[in-house]
Amino acid sequence: MTGPSHKLMLPRIAIALLVCFSRLAAFEPPGSITNLAYIDLNGDGANDVRLYLMGAKSINDVFSVVSEVRGIAENVVLSRSTDSAFFSVGDAISTERTVYIDQASGLSWLPISGYIAYMDYESLVWYIFPARGNSPFGAEGKTDVIVGIRLRVEANVHYGWVRFSRPDAKLETLFSVAGSDWNPVPDVPIRAGFPPEIPIASEILPDSAGVRLSWPPGTSNWILESTRRLSPPVVWEPYPAGGTYADVPPEEADRFFRLRRPE
């Protein structure tokens, strides 16, 4: 009886050790604050938002790990509603949205993921639990979320969004930045997951000289493009402009126009 029993247990132990050490190598909770990402929404060279990962070790080798989205300086995270902080694709991010406030810290820090990890040194296995038990925490169970941001650019208020994604919805899988955008026009909303909609105004020029197209000063470096047809294949070409306006003579009246952000 003793011999066969040992023959069955040895391979099981070997397999268990291989699995445990591979998980430990790929997953070990941090013991301090880590900056996972900085986001420069408006491209001015200054960071506007950051993604933090914080790991705290308590007694009995229990780790509490939380990643949060934080605005830098006067930039803040917005809340979609009282029930959900995250925005759905197409939601308007505007002055009507309230600032998200973390109840624990009293600051605009939005938790995006979190878990509790415990290392059982007898079996060499990590055990991972939800951060708040049965209560939803952050983007638990999601692989893609959009966070609304209110920016302060000089003396103006702007709105933007950041998309975070991860390959699976496991508690220990961290989010990374998957995209972002902002509206360069002050106090004008932007739809979550979409580029800003820049208004182009038209004005008839005196003496039948054509039409003047104009757009907001915040987009003076954008590129005006035109095409004569909207059926595929559409070919957009740069059109002469003077910063925030362009004069279109009568012979060019059959053109279609668009503004494009410079790459």
CA distance 112 to 107: 15
75, part of any domain: yes
Q: Domain check: are 101 and 141 in the same one?
A: yes
How far does Cα 74 stand from its chain's mean position? 18
Q: Domain check: are 209 and 81 in the same one?
A: no
Task: Please give the backbone phi and psi of residue 207, each rounded to the nearest 5 degrees, phi first.
Answer: 60, 35
Q: Domain check: are 139 and 243 in the same one?
A: no
CA distance 29 to 52: 14
Residue for token digits 């694709």?
Answer: 89
Q: Domain check: are 51 and 105 in the same one?
A: yes
Contacts of 33 (CB under 8 A, 6+ apart): 52, 53, 54
Q: Domain check: are 177 and 252 in the same one?
A: no
Instruction: Give residue 112's domain range.
Output: 33-191
Choosing from 191, 216, 239, the residue where a domain stops is 191
Choosing from 191, 226, 252, the residue where a domain stops is 191
Sheet with 125-130: list strands edge to edge: 33-39, 49-57, 62-71, 109-120, 125-130
Q: Domain check: are 138 and 220 in the same one?
A: no
Q: Domain check: are 98 and 210 in the same one?
A: no
User: Mind listing the pLDDT tens digit of every residue in the chain (263 residues)?
Assistant: 334 333 333 233 333 333 332 243 345 666 667 888 999 999 899 999 999 998 877 767 788 889 999 999 999 999 999 889 999 999 999 999 999 998 888 999 999 999 888 877 777 777 888 887 777 789 999 999 999 999 999 999 999 999 999 999 988 889 999 999 999 999 999 999 999 999 899 999 999 999 999 999 889 999 999 999 999 999 999 999 988 999 999 999 899 999 998 87
Length of the chain: 263
**Total of domains in the chain:** 2
Query: The pTM is what?
Result: 0.81
